[in-house]
Amino acid sequence: MKNSRRDALRKLTLVPALAAAPNLFAASASKRARPVSTEQRVQYSVNAYSFNDEFKSGEMDLFDMMEFAADIGLHAVDLTSYYFSSYPNLPDTAEIFALKKRALELGLNISWTGVRNNFVTADVAAREKDRQMIKDWLVISSKIGSSILRMFTGRNIPEGHTKDQVKEWLVEEYKLCAQYGAEVGVIAALQNHNEFLFTADEVIDIIKRVDSEWFGLILDTACLRTTADPYAEAEKLAPYAKYWFIKEHVYPNQEKTPTDMAKMAALIKKQGFQGYVSFESLSDGDPKVILKEMLADFKREFENE
């Protein structure tokens, strides 16, 4: 009898909770159904090559570059291998972690690292050496916190070989690099660099043949030089871009022309790109002044609603 009375009381205490349950379930469902934000997240970086002369002369080092980036409100820096103090040797852990620590203190990401390789040479041993270099730098990139490593193709077709043959070498090498990248969590990415692959269609063909989520494109807008409309060519490449490079000039049919930041911003907006846009100056003059102006011009166009 006592058990029956207790059971009845327990059931009565459940009634209010059950009555409220539809509201609780509805609230939970409402939270799940809330749409994901569609705000376009673009962050800004600067490429180390902008300070090539300053690095070579000893006027600046990578730490100075990071301080400049923080001063003008950038979010990140691109650190190229050949500007590390240890180059051509691989940097040791102390150098890697010193850069990583300084970036943290300045509120910056080290979003990009880059190497100079040649995968279009007929010298198999040379290609293997560069592949090992890339493998080493993918590990370094992972340690320093970079999400992407820049690779090149190399320049020119070696004598006695066809371009299609050389493209087969590229695909083979990039597939291996993508596998290495997957092992350490860094995307191995091709920068179209006006060296061997000159058109959007050629670049897209290589990307599709490599066919790896750990391989992608660093879209260099200044290196689309065999077309009258580099913006249209960039738009073809945009769906494949993991990272954008913007320079102060584009080169329609090889003719040096100031970059139209309104067109560039509209293109990136239209694609819905999420990620890093990096600025690089190749002009004579003070790169700090030029880069600051480039950033301001692009932000004015991109962030203008």
We report the CATH number of the domain holding residue 289 as: 3.20.20.150
One domain for residues 167 and 216: yes
Number of Cβ within a 10 Å radius of residue 17: 9
Query: 10: burial class by Cβ within 10 Å (0-12, 13-18, 19+)?
Result: exposed
One domain for residues 176 and 264: yes
One domain for residues 139 and 2: no
One domain for residues 7 and 141: no
One domain for residues 140 and 258: yes
Contact 95, 145 (CB under 8 A): no
- Output the furthest CA–CA distance in the chain (Å, rounded): 100
Amino acid at 78: D
Rounded-to-integer distance, Cα 283 and Cα 255, Å: 15
One domain for residues 85 and 145: yes
Q: Running DSSP on this structure, what letter comes out for residue 75?
A: S
One domain for residues 194 and 211: yes
- Counting the structural domains of the chain, the total is 2
Q: Residue 68: in which H helix or E strand, if any?
A: helix 62-71
One domain for residues 171 and 291: yes
Q: What is the pLDDT of residue 244?
A: 98
One domain for residues 10 and 50: no
Tokens representing 253? 């049919």
Rounded-to-integer distance, Cα 186 and Cα 252, Å: 33
Measured CA distances, 161 to 156, 164, 193 (Å): 11, 8, 21
Which of 11, 32, 151 is CA-nearest to residue 80?
Answer: 151
Whole-angstrom distance between the N-terminal and C-terminal Cα of the chain? 73
Rounded-to-integer distance, Cα 217 and Cα 110, Å: 18
Give, in degrees to the nearest 5, the angle at Cα 180 between 88 and 184.
90
Give me the tens of pLDDT residue by residue for the chain, a chain 305 residues long: 444 444 443 444 444 443 444 343 333 433 334 344 457 899 999 999 999 999 999 999 999 999 999 999 999 999 999 999 999 999 999 999 999 999 999 999 999 999 999 999 999 999 999 999 999 999 999 999 999 999 999 999 999 999 999 999 999 999 999 999 999 999 999 999 999 999 999 999 999 999 999 999 999 999 999 999 999 999 999 999 999 999 999 999 999 999 999 999 999 999 999 999 999 999 999 999 999 999 999 999 999 85
Rounded-to-integer distance, Cα 256 and Cα 237, Å: 21
One domain for residues 20 and 74: no
Which residues constitute the domain of residue 102? 41-302
One domain for residues 26 and 72: no
Side-chain half-sphere exposure of 114, counting CA atoms within 13 A: 22
Backbone phi and psi for residue 244, each to the nearest 5 degrees, phi listed first: -115, 135
Measured CA distances, 222 to 18, 84, 239 (Å): 65, 25, 18
One domain for residues 15 and 143: no
